[in-house]
Amino acid sequence: MAAHVETSLRMEPAALRGLISRNKQADKVFAAVGLLAMFVGVFALAALLTKLAIDGGERISWQFMTSFPSRHADKAGILSAWVGTSLVMLVTTFSAVPIGVAAGVYLEEYARRGWLTDVIEINVTNLAGVPSIVYGLLALGLFVYGMGLGQSIAAAGLTLGLLILPVVIVSTREAIRSVPVAMREAAYALGATRWQTVHDHVLPYSTGGILTGVILGLSRAIGETAPIITIGALTFIAFLPPAPLTTEPPFVSFEWLLAPFTVMPIQMFNWLSRPQAAFIENAAAAGLVLVLMTVGMNAVAIWLRYRFRKKIKW
Amino acid sequence: MNTPAVRPLRHVLPPPKVAQRRRVGERIVEGLLFASAVSAVFITIAIMVVLIGESLAFFRHVSLLDFVTDTQWTIMFEDKHYGIAPLLTGTLVTSLIGLGVAVPLGTIIAIYLSEFAPFRVREFVKPLLELLVGVPTVVFGYFALLFVTPLLQKFIPSLPGFNMLGPGIVIGLMITPYISSVAEDAMRAVPMHLREGAYAMGATRFRTATTVVIPAAFSGIVAAYVLGVSRAVGETMVVAVAAGQQPNFTLNPMEPAATITSFIVQVALGDLPHGSIEYQSIFAAGLVLMLLTLGFNVGGHFLRRRFREVY
C-alpha cells in the first residue's frame, strides 16, 4: 500500500481524480455484485417454495393429513408420518435437552481450565462437524443391534438426540455467557452456593437463548433423513404406534417407544423414488408440510432471539 | 433514622447440618453436570469404536489393497468388487461443484453483509438466509431432481435426468448460508479501528475489505470454508435423490454417480442382514467419510493457526 500512496502523491491531479473515481467505481460494482449474490440465495429459497407449492399444493387436504400411505396415490396420506415425527421428536427433546443444557452449564460455570476441559470442548466442536449419516451408522451399531432397540421410535429419537446435542450445548454456552458476571457476584455475595446461583439466576436469564438453540436443533432433527434411513426404518407403515395414554391405570404406556414407525422426510423420500407422477405429487405435498414445519420452527426461533435481545438490557 | 440492629453472623448462617447437606448436594449436582459434559467424549469414542470395529470385520474379507486400488464398487452384484475409488470420485465431483458455487457466493455475501449492506437490508436478508438453512435436505433433493436438473437440460440437452451437476449446484446453494454466516461473524469481529485506519488513509470500502478486513479475519473465513467442505462431503439426501445411485468411476459431472453417503443410504434401504458383508461395507464407507472430514478439519486447524491474526 505504501508504494501505492507514493505513486498517487506524484500523480497529476487529473490522473489522481481518475484513480479515485475508478476506486469508487469498484465500490459500486461490488455493492451491486453483493446484492446480486444475496438475491441468488433468496431466489433459490423462493424458487424452492414455489416449486413445492405448485407441485404439491393441491394435494394438501384434510384427507391427506389423516390417511395412511397407500398403493393408490390419491388415497395416500401422511398420518403415520407426522405422528411418527412427533413421537420421535419427543424422545429427541427429552434426551438431548437435559444432557445438552447440563453439559453447557458445566463447561461455562464449573469447568476448570485443564486438559480434560480442552478435550471436551474439542469434542463438542468436532461432533458438530460429523456428517449426519455417521450418526446413523453409530445408531445402527449401538442402538439397533448393540442395545437391541431394533428399528424403533426410541432408537430414532436417541439418534437424532445425539445429532443435535452439540447444537444444544453450544447455544446453552452462548446464552449463559451473555449473563453478566455481576449477576453471579451478587448471588455469591448473598451467600448463594454455585448451584443456587446457576439454578436461580443464570439459567432463568438465559432461557430465551437456550430455547432458541433447542428449537433450531429440533427443526434440524425433523428434517434429517439419512440417519433414520441408515438405522433401517421401514418406509411403508399403515398403522399407528400404541397410544402413550391409555384408559386403564397406570394411564401411561411406553410401548410406543419400541414400535416401528415412519417419519415425514422418509415418507417423502419413499414417494419421491417412485416413477409415477401421482406419487411425485404426494412427495411435493409432504415436502411442503415438512418445509412449513421446519421454516415455521426457524421463524419462531429467529423471532424469539430477536425479542429476547431487545427485551434484556443489562 | 433508625437502623435495624445488626444480628450476629451465626444467626444468619444456616445451621451446620443444613450447610453440610448443601455441600453434599452441590457435589452431586456437579457430578451430574460433569457426566453430561463427558458424554460428548463418549459419543466420539462410540463412533470410532463402531466404525473401526465393523470395518475391521469388513477388511477380514476384503484386502485393503483391493479397497484402495480397484476401480469398481459392485457390492450388490454377483461379481463383487470392493474398490472405494468410484464412490470417492462421486463425492469429490459433487463436493467440488458445491464448493465452486458456495465459496464465492458465501464469501461475497459475507463481505457485503459485513462491510457494505445498509442496516435495513441486513436485517431483512439475514433471517431469509437462515431460513434456507432450515430447509430439510430431502426437500433440496426434490428441488435438484425436479427443478434444477430440468432447468439445466434446457441449456445442455444431452444432460441425463440423474447427474452430478444439478445436485452439486444445489449442495452449493444449501451450504452457502453456513459459509456466509460464519465468515461474516469473523469479519464483524475485526476491530473497528483497523477499518478506520484504512479509511483515514483514503481507502474505499472495497479496498478496506480486501486489504484489511479479509486478512484480519482470515482464520475465521478458513473455519467457514472447512465447515462448508464437511457439509458438502457429508451431504447425503440431495445426491441420493438426484444423482442416481450407480457407482461410476468418472470425473464427468454430466454423468450419474453414487457418493459414499448415497451408497450407505442405498444399502440401508435394502433389507440387510446383520453381520453380512454388505452390512459391514457401509461402516467401512462411513469410516472413509469420517477420515475425510477429520482430515479437512485438522488441515483447517493448522491453516488457521498459521494465519491467525492477534490484535
The 3-state secondary structure of chain A, one letter per residue: CHHHHHHHHCCCHHHHHHHHHHHHHHHHHHHHHHHHHHHHHHHHHHHHHHHHHHHHHHHCCHHHHCCCCCCCHHHCCCHHHHHHHHHHHHHHHHHHHHHHHHHHHHHHHHCCCCHHHHHHHHHHHHHHHCCHHHHHHHHHHHHHHHCCCCCCHHHHHHHHHHHHHHHHHHHHHHHHHCCCHHHHHHHHHCCCCHHHHHHHHHHHHHHHHHHHHHHHHHHHHHHCCHHHHHCCCCCCCCCCCCCCECCCCCCECCHHHHCCCCCHHHHHHHHHCCCCHHHHHHHHHHHHHHHHHHHHHHHHHHHHHHHHHHHCCC
Q: Domain of B295?
A: 85-307
**In-domain check, residue B79:** no
State which amino acid sits at residue A251: F
Which of B72-76, B140-144, B181-185 is the least confident region? B72-76
The model's confidence at residue B141, banded by pLDDT at 50, 70 and 90, is: very high
| Residue B52 confidence (pLDDT) above 90 | yes
| Residue B187 confidence (pLDDT) above 60 | yes
* B56, B139: one domain: no
Among residues of chain B, what percentage have pLDDT more than 70? Answer: 94
pLDDT of residue B4: 57
* B129, B266: one domain: yes
- Number of structural domains in chain B: 2
* B176, B249: one domain: yes
pLDDT of residue A1: 47
Q: Which CATH number characterizes residue B131's domain?
A: 1.10.3720.10
CB contact under 8 A, B36 and A98: yes
Domain ranges of chain A: 2-57, 62-311
| Mean per-residue pLDDT, B178-206 | 91
pLDDT of residue B1: 46
Of B36, B241, B289, the CB nearest to A272: B241
The model's confidence at residue A59, banded by pLDDT at 50, 70 and 90, is: confident
pLDDT of residue B50: 93
pLDDT of residue B123: 82
| Residue B2 confidence (pLDDT) above 60 | no
Q: In angstroms, what separates the C-alpha of A251 from chain B's closest C-alpha?
A: 31
pTM value is: 0.87
* B233, B289: one domain: yes
- Chain A residues with CB inside 8 Å of B147's CB? 47-48, 51
pLDDT of residue A235: 65
Which of A45-54, A284-293, B3-12, B279-288 is the least confident region? B3-12
CATH number for A62-311 (one of 1.10.3720.10, 2.60.40.10, 3.40.50.2300, 1.10.4080.10): it is 1.10.3720.10
CB proximity A309 to B under 8 Å: no
* B162, B104: one domain: yes
- Chain A residues with CB inside 8 Å of B109's CB? 34, 37-38, 41
* B209, B107: one domain: yes
CB contact under 8 A, B230 and A129: yes
**In-domain check, residue B298:** yes
- Chain B residues with CB inside 8 Å of A134's CB? 47, 51, 234, 286, 289-290
| Residue A114 confidence (pLDDT) above 90 | no
* B95, B25: one domain: no
* B25, B155: one domain: no
Of A270-274, B122-126, B145-149, highest mean pLDDT: B145-149
* B163, B43: one domain: no
The model's confidence at residue B68, banded by pLDDT at 50, 70 and 90, is: confident
Q: In angstroms, what separates the C-alpha of B219 from chain A's closest C-alpha?
A: 16
* B154, B285: one domain: yes
| Residue A10 confidence (pLDDT) above 80 | no
pLDDT, tens digit, 9 for 90 and up, residues A132-181: 999 999 999 888 888 888 788 899 999 999 999 999 999 999 999 988 89
* B260, B169: one domain: yes
| Residue B296 confidence (pLDDT) above 50 | yes
Q: Which of B132, B133, B142, B210 to mutate to test the interface with A (most CBs of A within 10 A)?
A: B142
* B207, B259: one domain: yes
